[in-house]
Amino acid sequence: MDEVRKRLGLKESDQIKQVSRRDKGHLGQTEECTYDILSETGELICKARVEEHQPVGKLRAKPTFSLVRLNKDGGSPEHLGSWQNG
């Protein structure tokens, strides 16, 4: 979550609360989680979606993460990049 916090530009006091999770792909190789991003007072700042994709067929392949900011007002989603851990 440190990478998500950094890419969203959150303060240490802001909260990340998971609101949904689902698997995608014929082998469930992509996990999609949606989060509410809350201020320290509990006010909704925005929503975010994180996808973790694990390549199929590669034993030592690292998963790829991608982050999309979803505006609370229903505006256009903003892709904030992809990365690999490790």
Specify the higher pLDDT residue, 70 or 57: 70
**What would the pLDDT profile of 12-56 be if each residue is shown by its tens digit?**
999 999 999 999 988 888 999 999 999 999 999 999 999 999 888
- What's the pLDDT score for residue 61? 80
As a whole number, the mean pLDDT across the chain is 90
- What's the pLDDT score for residue 85? 79
Could you tell me the maximum CA-CA distance found in the chain, to the nearest angstrom? 45
Domain count, the chain: 1
- pTM of the shown model: 0.84
Confidence at 86, pLDDT banded by 50, 70, 90? low
- Structural domain containing residue 64: 2-84
